[in-house]
Amino acid sequence: MRTHARAVVIGGGVVGASVLYHLTKRGWTDVMLIERSELTSGSTWHAAGGMHTVNGDPNVAKLQAYTINLYKEIEAISGQSCSIHMTGGIMLAGSPERHDFLKMMRSRARYLGLDMEMISVDEAAKMFPLMDKSHFVGALYNSLEGHVDPTGVTNAYAKSARIAGAEVVRFNRVVETNQRPDGSWDVVTEKGTIHAEHVINAGGLWAREVGRMAGLELPVMAMEHHYIITEDIPEVLASPKEQLHVIDFDGEIYMRQEGKGGMLIGTYERAGVPWSERQTPWNFGHELLPNDLERIAPSLEVGFSHYPALGRAGIKKVINGPFTFTPDGNPLVGPVRGLKNYWVACGVMAGLSQGGGVGLSLSNWMVDGDPGADIWGMDVARYGDWTSMAYTNAKVRENYSRRWRVRFPNEELPAARKLKTTPIYDSLAAKGAVFGASYGLEYATWFAPSGTDQNENWGFERTNAFAPMLAEVKNVRDNVGLMEISTYAKYEVTGSGAEAFLSRVLAGRMPKTGRIALNPMLNEQGKIIGDFTVAKPADNCFFLIGAGVAEHYHMRWFEQHMPPTGVAIRAFGAELVGLTIAGPKSRDVLGSLVADDLSTAAFPFLSIRRMEVGLIPALVARISFTGDLGYELWVKPEHQRALFEALLAAGQPYGIGLFGARALNAMRLEKGYGSWAREYRPIYTPREAGMDRLIAMTKGSFIGRDAMMRLSNETPAMSLLNFAVDANGADAFGDEPILHGGKVAGWVTSGGYSPTAQQSIAMGYVFSEFTDKDEGFAIEIVGENRAAHRLRQPLFDPEGTRLRA
Ligand SMILES: Cc1cc2nc3c(=O)[nH]c(=O)nc-3n(C[C@H](O)[C@H](O)[C@H](O)COP(=O)(O)OP(=O)(O)OC[C@H]3O[C@@H](n4cnc5c(N)ncnc54)[C@H](O)[C@@H]3O)c2cc1C
């Protein structure tokens, strides 16, 4: 065994083996994989081997397609069969909602270039004669589905990596990972210590335990999972073709052929059971768990009634094995904040669909410093240190039980709620707030007027939140609205080197003292990795506001780029909370509580100042994401309640009303403002996003400048455009294709409704060949093409006079 390696992968499941292979493919051949037992000895060996491109995040779906197409490559290199069965698959809808959901999946596949088509029940039954047509209303056909042999795949990865120079050590447990002062790692194993530059935790079922060796508590937990294999079925034996893969959403089951005549049926039963909730035993070997047919009986009963031939066949084998999930069901990939050269590739619930994409992006990240794709949906940094084990447990159970259920636009899920609340939570609740959770923090999405239902009737059509949202916006536009904004991320950057540091990591101008400047953050490739409001309340002191869900992600980047001395950075989290007031009368409201002159001459748009607001010391910024005259007020949590009450009382004569995040979203859309994780993601450049006016090319060196220079003579591949849409009761939400002349012209990033213009609207990226056009667009909403025309200017206050008034 080598005693030194550039990188050591801990864990020889399908994911670790893929990471090893991809590192060698990228030229890192001095790499090792350490496996406690035989390869595949976690959840991989008993996986059903199914693979498909279904994922709620289109970027993850793309990486799944990459994975599936990879298997021929590793077979060819290694000579090891992966037993690839590309059967194609159908997803069956038993309800109109599910049918709509499938139409939306097909729409998304259209712009992702994936081959999926809606088919009728009759067509589905021709492809899969075992089904009883009476239970279904339609289906989606996906050519990129099938199954492989998980052990074959893992060995093919490992062999391919070995051929390129990697070493695979089996039957050798890693017992410690100790970091040296220079950031490299001593990986202590049963057979000796390896000094490694980089460590990758691909511990699968033991990812938590491996993480704990480095002081990490990863939000991962295993659930038990059953599948059964039937005896041979005459209809299957007689069929000239292998049976398709089938996902039956309403039965919560999936199926495929096993062997010559059997069928494999897996269930995501609602009463799912976690396994080894706190600690995975090291002595768990190539083992299965006791069967619990009673638990999966409701799902099987649905299966037997939907596919009568399965009910007639005997059960040959039952498999119950554990595999890991994260709170949102997507993997944890990437560098861990604060642990130099420590990487994770775990929490992968669909290793045969996703393992290749995980290996590809992680190896790119390690070699190039960038994953090479938009993997925000899988980035380990999307969780901070607030994910307690109990939170993970509750979310994982919820996720498992909802695996095949429709998630509607804006739908909030009930598990692990009220983990984080602000001091005005109860006051908001008393006023009818309907809450959502973002990064674990409760926030008001809309306010149900007194006497109306606070439960939202989720669906693809506008819900009962629509009318209250319109009223909330109207009150902001006519009078003044009050909203809590504690979900934003807030940072303080101080020290003699603060300005130089920020000017290097951010691409815009630094504000003067007392002023605010909007600032995109770019990576070396010139792609957008953040958008910040940067304020300078005092000399050598900056206050930044960014996307709340990206706090950990952005802190990781800041910390990686900090100079050794002269700068201190702090993320406030819930230690600083905020309220905003916006609307034409907001100045009057604030003016009645402060001694400061709020006139535009004295406190213009994009100003910041410490003020006493009533009794409360606050940092007040004249800025508003509503696109209206407005202020953001930041205070310590102990002052928030007093500030809330003071603003409400002072606002009474001006008709102050509360508004929620839905109203804010409508207002930012009608103003044409983009938002992180929607319009701004690491696949877009500032020119594509229309942010180039914020880039200070002349200020000197900053991260991303060279790439911006290189790209400056090229036409942007796409541009972010705004559209008015002829919708009919259902608005675009995001991820719908934008069409022109029947061709895919781009995709929607956000959609909604402009209360001011009373118009359905959408924002999205459109390829350059279509960006000179105004008419002839269509947006596919719930399977229907809706005519759309480009908006050349925002529907609300195009000149920005309200904002600057
Ligand atoms: C019943 C069942 C059916 C499934 N069906 C499918 C399917 O159809 N399609 C699909 O895509 N997925 C399926 N899965 C999920 C799939 O099995 C997982 O996504 C996949 O196996 C995860 O692989 P991994 O490499 O992350 O983890 P694991 O397979 O758990 O591998 C981790 C490895 O790390 C090793 N290890 C851990 N700690 C150490 C240490 N300290 N030192 C050395 N080695 C260590 C372990 O021994 C293990 O071999 C199924 C799972 C189950 C249980």
pLDDT in tens, 251-267: 889 999 999 999 999 99
Q: Return the ligand 1 atom nearest residue 320 CA.
A: 1
Q: Is the dihedral of CA 610, 611, 616, 622 positive or negative?
A: negative
Give the burial class of 574: count Cβ atoms within 10 A of its Cβ; 0-12 exposed, 13-18 middle, 19 or more buried. Answer: middle
Q: What is the pLDDT of residues 103-149, one digit of tens each?
A: 988 988 888 888 899 999 999 999 999 999 999 999 999 998 999 99
How far, in Å, from the CA of 47 to the mean position of ligand 1? 8
**Residue 429, amino acid:** A
pLDDT the model gives residue 58: 84
User: Ligand 1: which of 168, 191, 205, 295 to mutate, most ligand atoms within 8 Å of CB?
Assistant: 205
Q: What is the pLDDT of residues 142-172, one digit of tens each?
A: 998 999 999 999 999 999 999 999 999 999 9
Residue 459: how many other CB atoms lie within 10 Å? 17
pLDDT the model gives residue 392: 98
Q: Is the CB of 348 under 6 A from ligand 1?
A: yes
Q: Is the CB of 537 under 6 A from ligand 1?
A: no
Q: Is the CB of 12 under 6 A from ligand 1?
A: yes
Backbone angles phi, psi at 309, to 5 degrees: -65, -30
How far, in Å, from the CA of 628 to the mean position of ligand 1? 51
Percent pLDDT > 90 in the chain is 93
Strands 167-169 and 31-34: parallel
Provide DSSP, 194-224. Answer: EEEEEEEE--GGGHHHHHHTTT---S-EEEE
* pLDDT averaged over every residue in the chain: 96
For ligand 1, atom 31: residue with the closest CA: 13
pLDDT the model gives residue 113: 84
The token duo for 126 is 């021709």
Answer for the pair 335, 343: CB distance below 8 angstroms, yes or no: yes
Which residue from 133, 56, 126, 58 is spatially nearest to 92, judged by alpha carbons? Answer: 133
Q: Is the CB of 233 under 6 A from ligand 1?
A: no
Percent pLDDT > 70 in the chain is 100
How far, in Å, from the CA of 362 to the mean position of ligand 1? 17
Interatomic CA distance for residues 704 and 111, integer angstroms:
28
Q: What is the pLDDT of residues 453-492, one digit of tens each?
A: 999 999 999 999 999 999 999 999 999 999 999 999 999 9
Q: Is the CB of 49 under 6 A from ligand 1?
A: yes
What is the 8-class DSSP label of residue 704? T
How far, in Å, from the CA of 40 to the mean position of ligand 1? 7
The token duo for 645 is 């009450």
pLDDT the model gives residue 90: 97
For ligand 1, atom 22: residue with the closest CA: 351
How far, in Å, from the CA of 354 to the mean position of ligand 1? 12
How far, in Å, from the CA of 280 to the mean position of ligand 1? 13
Which residues of the chain register pLDDT less than 50?
none
